[in-house]
Amino acid sequence: MTKAVIAFSGGLDTSFLVPYCREVYGVTEVITCTVNTGGFDEAEVTKIAARSKEVGADRHIYRDASQSYYDQIITYLIYGNVSRDGYPLCVSSERLVIAQKALEVCNETGADMFIHGSTGAGNDQYRFDVAAQVIGGGKVKCKAPVREFGISRQFSTDYLRKLGVMVTEKTTSYSYNPGLWGVSIGGKETLTSDGLIPDEAWYSQPDAKVTDANLLLTFTKGVLTQLDDGAQKITEPTAIVRRLTEIGNALGIGRHYHVGTSVPGKKGRLAYESPAADIIYEAHRTLEKITLSQAQINGKKPMAEMFGQLVHEAKMFDPYLTDIKTFLKSTQRRVTGTCCIVLSRGYIKAVTTQSPYDLLAIKGSTYGEVSSAYSGADAAGSALLHGYEQRLYRSLGDDGEV
């Protein structure tokens, strides 16, 4: 008897895996495991469970990992304002948590196999495979049938339809990966450099009745501690992210396209929605600008970029990731204050801040005007010394243009 746990989202690829793994691997008991990293509401969770039953799973297990995802990953993404050329790691950052919880289910149920729906062309295969190696410790076989047998989406569609399983045209044409931090969208348009997905293909749709919003977002040592949206005050961080997603979606904020290079070396392109990440990063960056020294701001950037690279490229268990987390947390000691965020249709209009550690508000000088801390002669002498090395170098001659 062979028992398999499938990381299950209810989409085309993972639905296909349920009957197909019985056929190709001789699996006798199939357990689907849905790990919710914040992208599924109660109605969607119910729908996914029904889908599991429809495609013939013997058992379905659900795990809510929203808080775990926030604590392990999102907290540090915010500390570092982490992105990959603007992409805030909406999907790549959640895969570790999904793999962790699914592998826990493998252990609980005594499964022989851990099956995921990754292809051989992208990055997800590394995230799931590496997690299985490190967390699973080789106790379960990690299988990816789509990769192993070169399965196309059309093949998966035809296979399920032959079994009498309904596959909608939208499910066939577009793939969606929703999570707490955002949603990625793939379709035929994202396979080219100039394609744009149609409006109806976006995961969320703006609300024509909503034209603007004014929010108060509070951070305490870099941690989200309160959102005041004018109607309610929310203090639980994952609830704050969800509410910001709702507000941003209603205004059409956070729609983007991203091009990146996969671990295998192939360029990839996707559409994504990240309204909460966009709003939080803009507020957090603005608060950091008035509370951190310039050396801290500059020094954080390469560390945050490395953190994003390690997460994105499936190096989640490298000890350097832990080291960077410690560093990023340390930089947040004074990142405390409230940001007033003004949103308009399609964009973030403005962010203002109030903080007990506001370096701009310190008395003694006015930027661009006067200072009581030093005289004009002091400033002139400082400027002379500032250019001294450059003057010495140029005194030997001009090298000209390169």
Q: What is the pLDDT of residues 214-258, one digit of tens each?
A: 999 999 999 999 999 999 999 999 999 999 999 999 999 999 999
Q: List b or e across 345-370, with b for residues whose CB sees 16 or more CB atoms inside 10 angstroms.
A: eeebeebebebeeeeeeeeeeeeeee
What's the pLDDT score for residue 56?
A: 96
Task: Compute the average pLDDT of residues 277-282.
Answer: 98
Six-digit token string for 261: 């290079």
Residue 16 in this model has a pLDDT that exceeds 90: yes
Quick one: how far is CA 385 from the chain centroid? 45
Of the candidates 92, 116, 119, the residue with the CA atom closest to the CA atom of residue 272: 92
pLDDT at residue 117, as a whole number:
94
Give the residue with greater pLDDT, 45 vs 121.
45
Chain segment 101-159, per-residue pLDDT in tens: 999 999 999 999 999 999 998 899 999 999 999 988 878 999 999 999 999 989 999 99
Cβ count within 10 A of residue 313: 18
Residue 18 sits at φ, ψ, to 5 deg, of -60, -60
Q: What confidence score (pLDDT) does residue 374 get?
A: 84
On whether the CB atoms of residues 2 and 112 are closer than 8 A, the answer is: yes
User: Residue 26: pLDDT band by 50, 70, 90 thresholds?
Assistant: very high
Residue type, 70: Y
pTM equals 0.93
Element housing 121 (H / E): none
Other beta carbons less than 10 A from residue 269's beta carbon: 16
Token pair in block for residue 59: 């058992």
pLDDT at position 345 over 70: yes
Q: In Å, how far are 81, 211, 226 from 348, measured between CA atoms?
A: 16, 12, 19
* Tokens, residue 77: 């993404």
Q: What are phi and psi of 31, to 5 degrees?
A: -115, 120
- Is 90 exceeded by the pLDDT of residue 366? no
Tokens for 213, please give them.
């919003």
Kindly list the structural domains of the chain, giving each domain's residue range(s) and its CATH number in brackets, ordered by start. Answer: 3-66+91-174 (3.40.50.620), 182-354 (3.90.1260.10), 364-397 (no CATH)
Q: How far apart are CA 94 and CA 101, in angstroms?
A: 11
Tokens linked to 116: 């995921």
Higher-confidence residue: 365 or 27? 27
Q: Tell me the C-alpha distance between 302 and 52, whole Å.
A: 43
How high is the pLDDT of residue 365? 65
Find where tokens 């024509």 sit.
208
3 state DSSP class of 51? helix
Average pLDDT taken over every residue of the chain: 94
Please name the residues in contact with 285: beta carbons below 8 A apart, sequence gap of 6 or more: 81
d(CA 297, CA 48): 43
pLDDT at 46: 97
Nearest to 5 by CA among 181, 151, 162, 131: 131
In 26-168, DSSP assigns E strands to 29-36, 59-64, 113-115, 141-143
Q: Identify the pLDDT of residue 362.
A: 83
Residue given tokens 């960056």 in the structure block = 285
